[in-house]
Copies of this chain bind each other. A is one copy, B any other.
Amino acid sequence: MSLKTKAYSLGLDFGTNSVRALIVDISSGQEISTAVVNYPSGEAGIFLDPKDPNLARQNPADYVETMVKVIRQALSLAKRTRKNFLPEEIIGLGVDTTGSTPLPADQKGLPLAFHDEFKKNLNAQAWLWKDHTAFAEAQEITELAAKEHPEYLARCGGVYSSEWFFSKILHCRRTDPKVFEAAYTWVEITDFIPALITGTLHPNKIKRSRCAAGHKAMFSEDWGGLPAKDFLGKFDPALGELRNRLYDRTYTSDQSAGQLTKSWAKKLGLKPGVPVAVGAFDAHLGGVGAGVAPGKLVKIIGTSTCDITIWPNDQPLADIPGLCGIVDGSVMPGYFGLEAGQSAVGDIFNWFVNSIQPGGPKKGSHEELTSQAAVLLPGESGLLSLDWNNGNRTILVDQRLTGLLLGQTLHTRPEEIYLALIEGTAFGALTIVKRLQEYGLKITEVINCGGIAEKNPLVMQVYADVFGLEMKLARSSQTCALGAAMAGAVAAGKACGGYARFEEAQAAMCGVKPASFKPRFGHHLVYQELYELYRQLHDAFGTRDWQGNLYHLMKDLLNIRDQQLEKARKMTSKKRSEKKKGG
């Protein structure tokens, strides 16, 4: 038994449907206990609107209620699994969340949804990251920024998204002015949670996350913080006014947001005064937990992907077209955080297996298709696919794109399509890496994590073969929560038994699995040829500057689709079945 004092950190990971707590030994990164609690409201934690598929909101009370439960469960499990474990040995807390997930708050910084008047108003809840009700406002913001302040867009790939902070607030202003007027300010949940439990909720005290502000609210010190008041005021004078009640300073996640209050310490079963790190988005702390460093790319591969890397902020870095975000300190202080991603990866495989349901009974499972696809040589099927079933986040930043499968014959089999879909996502991933490299970021190591990376070795082997690079797997299977716990340890600092810097925490607390996927040279050569063909399709359908004229094609089809869906919605089902063809 070691004589050294034990020190632990607790990471809280607020996901889309549930919250996870992870208690980690900060000397080794060993994961002592973990617990998950689902949000109780709505459908799997999300309020939906049957009349509007774009709407996705969450009950702020869910975060609070489940946080208490999940921490208590993790503590109780830690006591059972580690002899002599004491909650008092937890020296720091870190928080990561989804985002941009802002909520309207009152003058004390409390969610409007906590007031009876607004309890049932969907617009007074947290606007979940995947809420797309503000698509029109996003376009408006993009257009005006492109004209008047192109610098605002340069760091977020050239397009301001409907998922982001100001789009959502402006949409609220226009569709529910009562909520907008009742809101003193708006708070990302990644700022709300640490502020709540450290008693710093008040708008004058709350420390805003650099990560959230920089990636989703066009915040940069280069132009004095948030976008200018007169810029915001052009959309609506009230939005310009709101700017004064938001913030002009932001903090990186090595900073403490405050200390755990006595009353929250009691509720949570923790020691009062424990430092709580400034919050950040899940993928960014996931990158930290997977060991991100300059030259190392972390790929979080699930239903979609998030790619994270960093670059020293004292070295020159150009704006990189098509990247979702480049923000100084968003991942780790001292570095630009770079975020990219693919809008669908696992979702495409799931679509094929669950919606198309190929292969007849019993032959179309992921396992079965994977096993059959694994023996195919690259290119053997003659198929090629574009991975755009859910649009393209990086490098095209275009949701009005769709999937494409090419090369099918009368002999094409389901497992060949399955492999082509995997290869399509691999080519999409390589396109991101190539874009980074074009702008001087040499990527020499790829560390993968997330459900698909952990569960489907075929995907990882194809990625290794396509990239011509070893695919490593992060040691932890909960890198986001681990990254949050590391932020807790760094926010605590050396004096409280933690770490002075993220780099030190990484050296001690994270790593890769011993087994990895190595590229096969022969396969890589064929994939290089196939990638050239993929890239031609990609440029032909995805870019304006290609010499052909197919850029409009997917968009035209979507426009026709939208118009026909509108028509279909207006038809009663009776009328529709009368219209049945060949009846």
Contacts and interface: CB of A to CB of B under 8 A. Distances in A.
A113 B411 CA distance: 33
Interface stretch (A246-254, A279-287, A289-297, A359-367): A359-367
Contacts of A144: none
B382 A402 contact: yes
Interface stretch (A343-351, A487-495, A496-504): A343-351
A381 B540 contact: no
Contacts of A583: 374, 457
Contact of A406 (B374, B462, B554): B554
Given A356-B358, A412-B351, A547-B549, A462 B581 contact: yes
A517 B417 contact: no
A576 interface: yes
A160 B302 CA distance: 51
Contacts of A380: 561, 564-565, 568
Contacts of A430: none
Contact of A408 (B382, B402, B458): B402
B402 A406 contact: yes
A226 B389 CA distance: 54
Contacts of A548: 540, 546-550
Contact of A414 (B356, B404, B410, B530): B356
Contacts of A356: 356, 358-359, 412-414, 417
Nearest to A548: B548
A417 B403 CA distance: 12
Q: Give the interface size bracket for A toward B.
A: 35 or more
B374 A581 contact: yes
A348 B404 CA distance: 17
Contacts of A582: 370, 374, 456-461, 517
Given A410-B389, A547-B549, A567 B404 contact: no
A61 interface: no
Interface in A526-583: 526, 529-530, 533, 536-537, 540, 546-550, 553-554, 556-558, 560-561, 563-565, 567-568, 576-577, 579-583
Given A560-B382, A560-B529, A549 B536 contact: yes
Contacts of A375: 576-577, 579-581
Given A380-B565, A550-B536, A558-B382, A403 B414 contact: no
A357 interface: yes
A390 interface: yes
Contacts of A412: 351, 355-356, 389, 403
A364 B374 contact: no
A86 interface: no
B564 A411 contact: no
Interface string A462-495: 1001000000000000000000000000000000
A378 interface: yes
Given A358-B358, A461-B582, A568-B380, A557 B406 contact: yes
Interface string A377-397: 111111110000110000000
A390 B564 CA distance: 31
A351 B408 CA distance: 10
A451 interface: no
Nearest to A417: B356
For A402, A409, A526, the residue with the greatest tally of chain B CB atoms inside 10 Å of its CB is: A409
Contacts of A377: 564, 567-568, 579
Interface in A412-426: 412-414, 417
A458 B526 CA distance: 42
A325 B563 CA distance: 42
A403 B411 contact: no
Contacts of A546: 548
Contacts of A136: none
A533 B547 contact: no
A405 interface: yes
A334 interface: no
Contact of A553 (B347, B370, B383, B406): B406
A407 interface: yes
Given A370-B582, A404-B405, 16 more contacts: A351-B412, A357-B360, A373-B581, A374-B581, A377-B568, A378-B564, A379-B564, A380-B561, A390-B409, A390-B410, A403-B407, A403-B412, A404-B408, A537-B553, A540-B540, A547-B548
16 contacts: A357-B360, A357-B414, A374-B580, A375-B577, A377-B564, A377-B568, A378-B564, A380-B564, A380-B568, A402-B407, A406-B553, A461-B582, A529-B556, A533-B553, A533-B556, A547-B547
List of 5 A-B pairs having minimum Cβ-Cβ separation, nearest first: A548-B548, A457-B582, A382-B561, A403-B408, A357-B360
